[in-house]
Amino acid sequence: MTVGLREILMPWFSPKPVLIPDILSWNQEFLGNKPAVVIDDDAVSWREFGAGTAQFANSLIDAGLVKGDRVVVLMKNSYEMAEAMFGIVRAGCVAVPLNVSITDNAVAGMVSDSEAKAVVASGEHVHRVESLRDRIDAMLIAPDTNLDGWHDYAAMRDAASDAIAAVEISPEDECNIIYSSGTTGLPKGIVHDHAGRAAWGSDLAVSLRYHSGARNLCNLGLFSNITWVGILATFFAQGAIVISRQFSVEGCLNTIEKQRVTHAAMVPLQYQKLIEHPDFEKYDLSSLDACMCCGSPLAAGLKKELAERWPGDFIELYGLTEGLVTILSPEDMHAKLESVGQPCPGQQLAILDNNDEVLSAGEAGEIVGLCRFTMAGYHANDAANEEATWMHPSGERWLRTGDIGKLDEDGFLYLVDRKKDMIISGGQNIYPADIEATMIENDAVSEVAVIGIPHEKWGETPLAVVVPAEGATETPDNLTGWVNARVGKQQKLAGTVLIAELPRNPNGKILKRELRKQFVDALGQV
């Protein structure tokens, strides 16, 4: 048998995939004194950050943890949190950062569900974990604590070697677990492997226009997948992250100006608050290159204003923590204002009807897709994995998003609604987003969320929950009548209730499940 040149050369010139630990090692070696992390006006170099993450990695290995062990991180935004998360990854362990705003019961449940071998906590969260000691069987680590049974973070790290951990990490190995927000049910552990996380970093670095001079502002919790995407893209581009301990409008604007921030990933509510600041135009935001908006739908009016007023490029991103991303670039924004853009290169999208048949352009149905950074699966949840899977005729597993959308002839995606938020009234599908888009046009309405409430005849019927505009005097009945005069017969509201503030998760998503819980009996059985 004749051996071709390709077969001879492949073993020599086909290096293994570049994974997150490889990028950290490369940046540590070659970027030297270039900043890696900036926080509280202090810059930490790549050499120092690399050494710190390597030391923490080796400290975990010295403590007996092995590749694949999960390590929960319950910390507020800090340098130590960034160092710990990527030290865990360099050790071949699995980082499990938790939202610090969740309940103690949820903390205990996620530690148990993830089968964590260690927990790293900080500040007041040390005492939260301490109160759960009888429910948590894991090694406990924290900065600045002398509680019995706890290991001091700095002492552990400083006692360990700063050599690259002697762990062979493969593309299919787990990298981290992000727990879902639980807006439509119990939180699920979303597992990302190293291959997928590397693809997130490299693909999004290109799509979101990162570069070696990037300074990426981390305004959301470091536990968030939105933040992870920005961090990974920054690290792949060889830039630096700027960590904000907490979001405030003036703090954010000052940081952008002072630290010459180039990139940021924020949710619509943050952008809205920033451009509403009376001195927004007075800040020097000229350093901004490209900023991403994601996490929840961006209203067309706000999107148009941001496209016109936001310095630098403004990019809308639609995506799921589970995978799939579409990008609406500045070049397409005016022509496709109501769209969430096109899939990133290499991704595939389709729209399915209720029988899982592929729909044509312009027809609304469930969004499904395939990409190289789709999650490895939900941790220990076969039922959820099955529910999230659509088998393509080719035999490939595609991800069900649970979102309703449509594609136009140019391949741009338009969101219609969440499948699980859909209201089924008299056998007809009602998409709350359609009603919300109508109601927000009323000057008396600042924000609105439409939910389904029980109806003895129709099964469900829509109820509008409204945050009134400042100074508005419209009554709920008047608002109901105004909307009902403008929507279809099947979309008519059963009523409207007023509320001071809509409940949201840390990423800005409206918690409709909480609203349903609060208002399901507001109008009784109509």
Q: Is the pLDDT of residue 513 over 90?
A: no
Q: How far is the CA of 449 from the CAs of 45, 179, 403, 454, 488, in angstroms? A: 45, 24, 16, 16, 18
Going by pLDDT thresholds of 50, 70 and 90, the confidence category of residue 427 is: low
3-state secondary structure 237-294: HCCEEEECCCCCHHHHHHHHHHHCCCEEEECHHHHHHHHHCCCHHHCCCCCCCEEEEC
Distance of CA 520 to the CA centre of its chain: 29
Q: Which residue type is seen at 167?
A: V
> What mean pLDDT do residues 510-517 have?
85
Instruction: Give the pLDDT confidence score for residue 449 in this predicted structure.
Output: 94
Domain 16-193 in CATH 3.40.50.980: yes
Q: Is the pLDDT of residue 150 over 70?
A: yes
- 352 with 366: CB under 8 angstroms? yes
Q: Is the pLDDT of residue 291 over 50?
A: yes
- CATH number for 345-418 (one of 3.10.105.10, 1.10.10.10, 2.30.38.10, 2.40.160.40): it is 2.30.38.10
Domain ranges of the chain: 16-193, 345-418, 422-519
Q: Is the pLDDT of residue 121 over 90?
A: yes
- 439 with 486: CB under 8 angstroms? no
pTM value is: 0.84
Q: Is the pLDDT of residue 46 over 90?
A: yes
At residue 175, the 3 state secondary structure works out as strand
According to CATH, the topology of domain 422-519 is: GMP Synthetase; Chain A, domain 3 (3.30.300)
Over residues 206-252, the pLDDT tens digits come to 999 999 999 999 999 999 999 999 999 999 999 999 999 999 999 99
Instruction: Give the pLDDT confidence score for residue 297 in this predicted structure.
Output: 78
> What mean pLDDT do residues 109-130 have?
95
